[in-house]
Amino acid sequence: MNSITDAIPHFHARRRLLSGMGAMAALAACGGGRVPHAAKVIERQIGVAPGVSLHVRDWPSAGGDSDDVIVLLAGLGANAHAFDSLAPALARRHRVLAITRRGYGASGKPLPANDANDMTYAPATLVADLLAVLDAVKVQRIILAGHSIAGNELTLFTGSHPRRVRGLVYLDTTFDYLASGGYEAPEPTPFDEPPPGPADLASVEASIAYARRINKHWWPALEANWRDALEVLPGGAVQPNTPPAIATAMDMAAHNFSPDYRRVRAPALVITVDPGTLRNLFPWLLQADPATRAAAQALLDFIRPLRLADGERLAAALPGSRHLVLRDGFHSDFFIEYENTVVDAIEAMRREGLQ
């Protein structure tokens, strides 16, 4: 690495591909995730394509309005359990569906073809999966919320099926992954979290202990998400249940996609997270040597204004949208740490008038 700017794309590429074991751990949180909400949830497996089904967690509305539906899409590497705190909080007034996209958790995992034109994990395929789920559960119109790379699905689904979407919630997504550099193969950086060793993968409990060490906090939604992403091998050792070829295909497709916001007409809430401190971006570096911490701080200082500007650009591309900036948060867990704020913002958007 010759400069801070060189480190940024390599760092994020590395983090993305570690999502098989690592980025899922980033869902550690405080705040709303401390006490699980008591709520009924229905587990579903819904076929979306030949040989492919998706895991859907379905919370009926505690308020009885089953026609007011929020759909939650997780970020890269995560699954429906990432929303085990946020979804029940929203279900006080809405029916909530949290969907694990193909390739992850308990959803089907078709292997991609070794072909540059393969569409197995392209955003268009993920959008078709979402449509199939909604049709299967007979839900016509939704508030669609998506975290991180799910912003691609929000934009494409709404542009393709405008009558199905009442409102959008972009949960710390990127304006245009392709324009931001697109996919880059991971290369080591001084800022990477320590990878799990054999002892860390010896059992489910050992893997959870590893995850606790590299995260800011550990809460029920994080642990449920983590467990759902593991395959337990004979003898008790574990590994990610998403094959590396799928993780790479998803990563490439997501980061080589350029959304078309001109087709979006639904009201939108854009939430941007400002990490603020090293603890919110590199919690595993808090005990690192002073030189590494100083370099990480310089990278953080460089990233912060870029993230804020990116959020402003996204909001500007969605006329009439509301832009909420959350300070001192972690990209992967802010919707748990600041759960009440996120829920209130969604409810405010709803009250102000949706399609």
Q: 343 versus 188: which is more confidently predicted? A: 343
Residue 22: pLDDT over 60: no
Render the burial of 236-264: b for 16+ CB within 10 Å, e for the rest.
eebebbbbeebbbbbbbbbbebebebeeb
Phi and psi angles of residue 177, each rounded to the nearest 5 degrees, phi first = -65, -35
DSSP states of 142-199 as a string? EEEEEETTHHHHHHHHHHH-GGGEEEEEEES--S-TTTTT--------TTPPPPP-GG
* Cα dist from 155 to 173, 293, 311, whole Å: 11, 37, 15
DSSP structural state of residue 110: P
Check residue 152 and give its pLDDT. Answer: 98
Instruction: List pLDDT tens digits, range 239-257.
Output: 999 999 999 999 999 999 9
Least confident of 99-108, 113-122, 259-268: 113-122
Looking at residue 344, what is its pLDDT? 97
For the chain, give every domain's residue range: 4-351
Model confidence at 38: pLDDT above 50: yes
Kindly indicate the confidence band of residue 10, based on its pLDDT and cuts at 50, 70 and 90: very low
* Per-residue confidence (pLDDT) for residue 11, from 0 to 100: 42
Say yes or no to pLDDT of 17 above 80: no
Average pLDDT in the 162-167 region? Answer: 96
CATH classification number, 4-351, choose in 3.40.309.10, 3.40.50.1820, 3.40.640.10, 3.90.25.10: 3.40.50.1820
Tell me what percent of the residues of the chain surpass a pLDDT of 90: 76
Decide: pTM greater than 0.75. Answer: yes
6: left (phi over 0), alpha (psi -120 to 50) or beta: alpha
